[in-house]
Amino acid sequence: MKQVEFSTEQIRAMSDSDLAKALNGEYGEGDIVSSVTINALLAEQLSRTIKVSSKPHWTVLPTFGLVIISVLLSG
């Protein structure tokens, strides 16, 4: 068994599925991911999750427009 470590650039270049594989221990045959690397992988995964969840849903702007038009027409 060998210990696997990734640089920050390698982690940022990984796809979401590669991140999940590395965190689940499926990255290599019998390889062990170091605890420092696991923390970096988790931080990158969390960063991506926050970035995706902070974007408003595509229906927010059209719905807001319809509400404004409805208020203007009803008044």
- Whole-model pTM over 0.75: no
pLDDT value, residue 40: 94
Query: What are 16-33's pLDDT values in tens digits?
Result: 999 998 888 777 666 788
SS (H, E, C) the chain: CCEECCCHHHHHHCCHHHHHHHHCCCCCCCCEECHHHHHHHHHHHHHHHHHHHCCCCCCHHHHHHHHHHHHHHHC
